[in-house]
Amino acid sequence: MKTSLILAPALLLGFATAAQAAPHHRGDANGDGTLTRAELTTKLDRRFARLDANSDGRITAAEMDAAKAKRAERRATIAAKNPERATKLEARMTRRQARGAERPNPDTNGDGVVTRDEFGARALERFAAMDSNGDGTVTKAERQAARQARRAARG
Ligand SMILES: [Ca+2]
Ligand SMILES: [Ca+2]
Ligand SMILES: [Ca+2]
* Domains of the chain by residue range: 27-154
**What is the band of 124 on the pLDDT scale with cuts at 50, 70, 90?**
very high
**pTM of the predicted structure, to 2 decimals:** 0.66
Structure confidence at residue 6 (pLDDT): 46
User: What sections of 108-139 are H helices per DSSP?
Assistant: 116-130
The Å distance, Cα 122 to ligand 1 centre, comes to 20
CB 42 within 8 A of CB 29: yes
CA 84 – ligand 1 centroid, Å: 35
**Residue 125 Cα to ligand 3 middle (Å):** 14
Q: Cβ atoms within 10 A of the Cβ of 137, count?
A: 16
- For range 107-116, the mean pLDDT: 95
Kindly give the distance from the C-alpha atom of residue 150 to the centroid of ligand 3, in angstroms, as a whole number: 17
Going from the Cα of 116 to the center of ligand 2, the distance in angstroms, rounded, reads 9
